[in-house]
Chains A and B, each alone.
Chain A
Amino acid sequence: MIWNQFALQILNGLGVAAILVIATSGLAIIFGVAGVINMAHGTFIMVGAYTAAVVNKLGGDMFMAMPLAFVVVALLGLAVERGVIRWIYDRPLETLLATWGVAIILEVAARLIFGPLGLKVDWPDLLDGNIKLFARPPHYPYYRVFHIVLAAAIMGLTFYLLYKTNFGLKVRAVRRNRAISGCMGVDTAKIDMLIFMYGSGLAGVAGAVLAPIKAATFDMGFTYAVSSYMVIVLGGVGNLLGIPVGAFLIGEGETLLAFRYNTVIGQLLVFVAIVIAIRVFPRGIFGYHERR
């Protein structure tokens, strides 16, 4: 029985890690390529969640909301990038403050439009129920399996985009050396714009998928944004693998420690572990090192 419980906690940890991957990938890609710490990332997730809520109200389900949330938030990202970020790319403090300002505006707008109470988003019928992994309960819910599959799909798609396409080659070059990439004929401004759209769109998908867990609320993004920053700090941005590995360590750490002690102690211990990890890996576990 105890082994069943332990195995279930491992699987639950995987589910939490999957949510972290879904929530973090957009932020990590924008930070990794454009060098922008997007403080509006959490509110982009929130906009994706409200998109799902609206679709839900109109009779659609989460699966229909996901592509729509991608498009809506990608366009929002385009507007922010063209309207604000592109003028201040080389100034990290200003981009931080500007995106924070965008976050405040979006949060206030969401509160004015949708009110202070959360909007419920239903699970699609397809994800109701559990997989019977063991002879006795508790069983593993379908929606957690869906999160794991989606996280793998997002990582797979992003890997394909970055490592198997011409666009990805340009993105990786711009990430490493913007000025020289431009001198080699790469339109770096266009790459920044497209990657900002893609990262924002992923945040939208995250919002649509996460909304059924707790409901869409105007302040929901903060928690996910903080978790996302932790994943990036731990995993590092030099390598795409940093996202799933950072998410896995945090997800499993929090879940198993919460199982052994309680949720608060679990989160506290993970946070302490991250601080120690930063001391050992200042650039994150997959931070890039080169010959000079």
Chain B
Amino acid sequence: MLRVSGIDTYYGTSHILHEVSIEVDAGEMVSVLGRNGAGKTTLLRSITGERLPRLGRIEFDGKTISKLASHLRTRRGISYVPQGRQIISDLTVSENLELALLGVGKSRRIPDVVYEYFPALRSLTGRKGGVLSGGQQQQLAIARALVQEPRLLLMDEPTEGLQPSVVAEIQEIIKRIGSEHNCAILLVEQRLDVVRDVARRFAILDTGHIVATGPIGELSDDVVRKHLQV
């Protein structure tokens, strides 16, 4: 479904990703790990189109999307839960969800599935996104992607900065989305317990290079010590 082949991505003159390749099959959940500054977020931004790679190719459903604008990638079925949530702060919860619906050409009617996954959002519909707590914003960020009914969901550290009970909740939600919506997920995550629980395969980025990949069972403590410990 998603095939990233040898991409090189830069921020100005800083060379962030070096010939990075990764694949995600339909309905599969793949996790990307790495130390801070390894290039995980840049990889997701390259896939969303926020940051265009200078070299290499990105294919989605067999078609090259390397030079496609962000909004066109979203309309093809790639949704994004960004790091730090990035809720549109002066839109209400409803408006954030409606915007996501409009973005993929749907009507503004918010589907019930949102409140099945996130019952807490029902009472917050009129609140501005910018005044929600971190956990509520994370729920909204995932709900926003969910209403677009994506075939590939990119999630960037969805448990970052959340209290343990909320982390467990988000963890379950990720598993549910993968299984109930037949949605492929590319998950950037720092928590090993979450990764081992939800992902089928992993890839480790180190200073912009893919240094290890494999089935999740191969994410041993030795691999973690070698590539992830500071």
Contact = CB atoms under 8 A, between A and B. Distances in A.
Interface of A: 166, 169-170, 172-173, 176-177, 179-189, 238, 288, 290-291
Given A182-B49, A188-B71, A290 B90 contact: yes
B159 interface: no
Given A169-B91, A291-B130, A180 B86 contact: yes
Contacts of A185: 71, 74-75, 100, 102-105, 148
Given A179-B50, A183-B79, A185-B74, 13 more contacts: A169-B99, A173-B91, A177-B86, A177-B88, A184-B74, A184-B144, A186-B71, A186-B103, A187-B69, A189-B69, A238-B90, A290-B130, A291-B130
Contacts, number: 83
Contacts of B130: 290-291
Contact of A166 (B89, B91, B108): B108
A175 to B, nearest CB: 8
B31 interface: no
A172 B92 CA distance: 11
B48 interface: yes
A187 B71 contact: yes
A288 B128 CA distance: 12
B98 A291 contact: no
B50 A172 contact: no
A288 B131 CA distance: 12
B95 interface: yes
Interface residues of B, number: 30
Interface of B: 48-50, 69-71, 74-75, 79-80, 82, 86, 88-91, 95, 98-100, 102-105, 108, 130-132, 144, 148
A142 B98 CA distance: 44
Most buried by B among A180, A238, A288: A180
Contact of B102 (A169, A176, A179, A288): A169
A179 B131 CA distance: 20
Contacts of B103: 181, 184-186
27 contacts: A169-B98, A172-B88, A173-B88, A173-B99, A176-B88, A176-B89, A176-B91, A182-B49, A182-B70, A182-B71, A183-B48, A183-B50, A183-B71, A183-B80, A183-B82, A184-B74, A184-B148, A185-B71, A185-B75, A185-B148, A187-B71, A188-B71, A189-B69, A290-B90, A290-B131, A291-B130, A291-B131
Nearest to B102: A166
| Closest 9 A/B residue pairs (Cβ) | A185-B103, A182-B70, A290-B130, A185-B74, A184-B103, A290-B89, A183-B80, A180-B86, A173-B88
